[in-house]
Structure 1
Amino acid sequence: MFIDINNRKELLRLFQCLTPDAVPLWGKMNPQEMVEHLTDQVEYTNGTKIPTCDKPAEEAYESKLRMLKSNKELPKNVFLGELPALIYPDIETAVHQLMVALDDFDAYFKIPGNTAIHGGFGPMDYNEWLIWHGRHFTHHLKQFGLIK
């Protein structure tokens, strides 16, 4: 089962359990890098950043359908390049900014017809993003042992 990112009270509670010195069960990110990574990704879905899709439309659509139907967890230890420098002064500020980005995500999708592009799946609507973000958040919450 994947986390429901609409349950913001529980989501905030989980992230507030994350200490700056927590050690991941896998991967190279420290706690604040993980939170800032999630914020960065949400900002591509709330109108803050402009995403692009590098796959042909048909291939992206087929990938999206497979992802939406799958109950598989995201693979561990996927390395997508160097991590950017931290933006926020501490993990508490980073968690707060993540929650703001999620509120902006909700507001963005209140506009009828809005979609946001996923780099591998193409345009996705609010419900599709809820599924993807739920999977992505679950992956990283498990990475730090915040959920099982």
Structure 2
Amino acid sequence: MALPNIFRKDISEEIIQRINNLKPETQPGWGKMNISEMLAHCNVAYEMVYDNKHPKPNFLMKAIMKSFVKKIVTSEIPYKRNSQTAPAFIIKGSRDFKTEKKRLIEYINRTQELGERRFDKKDSHSFGKLDVNEWNNLFYKHLDHHLTQFGV
């Protein structure tokens, strides 16, 4: 079953509505992150696309990521609860709820506005070139997993 298309305006607006239903006091159904850390964690996927703040993996690490992690991240199979998080996605230090929420919404809107064509065969930070379906799964599945984690 195909995942909803995050590049469609109605789907991105649905995700944003779910984000807007979050409150600073929202508690997770599982996991260790608080709400602000989760939002910052979700922002990392977009930072790797738009911002040059995360070091790219070296050749060996990229080969390992492509061989063992890419399918987990880009397939339609949902993430398991409490699954391991990549080091770059581990949030250290406190984060501001409003700031992280605003950033995430801006990233989602920017991605939707750029559209599928901009992402088809675009080189990813860790996995090489991804097709539009892989990009969609990467973005949508991650957001849906964590929004579900926080009950929205």
TM tier relative to shorter chain? 0.7 to 0.9
Cα-Cα RMSD: 3.1
- State the match for 1:13 in structure 2: 17
Q: What is the Cα deviation at residue 145 of structure 1?
A: 1.5
Amino acid at match of 2:12: R
The total of aligned residue pairs comes to 140
Question: Normalized per residue, which structure has more helix?
Answer: 2
Among 99, 103, 107, which residue is 2:105 paired with? 99
User: Please, which runs of 5 or more residues in structure 1 have no aligned partner?
Assistant: none
User: Please, which runs of 5 or more residues in structure 2 have no aligned partner?
Assistant: none
- State the match for 2:118 in structure 1: 110
Runs of 4+ off more than 6 Å: none
Identity %: 26
Among 21, 30, 37, which residue is 1:33 paired with? 37
Amino acid at match of 2:6: I
Distance 1:13 1:40 in 2: 20
1:1-148 to structure 2, matched below 5 A, reads 2-6=3-7, 7-50=11-54, 52-53=56-57, 54-56=61-63, 60=66, 63-65=69-71, 68=74, 70-80=75-85, 83-88=91-96, 91-106=97-112, 107=114, 110=118, 114-118=122-126, 121-146=127-152
Q: What is the Cα deviation at residue 95 of structure 1?
A: 1.5
Moved more, 25-34 or 38-47: 38-47
Q: What is the Cα deviation at residue 125 of structure 1?
A: 4.1
Distance 2:82 2:72 in 1: 21
Q: What TM-score does the superposition give when structure 1 sets the normalisation length?
A: 0.72
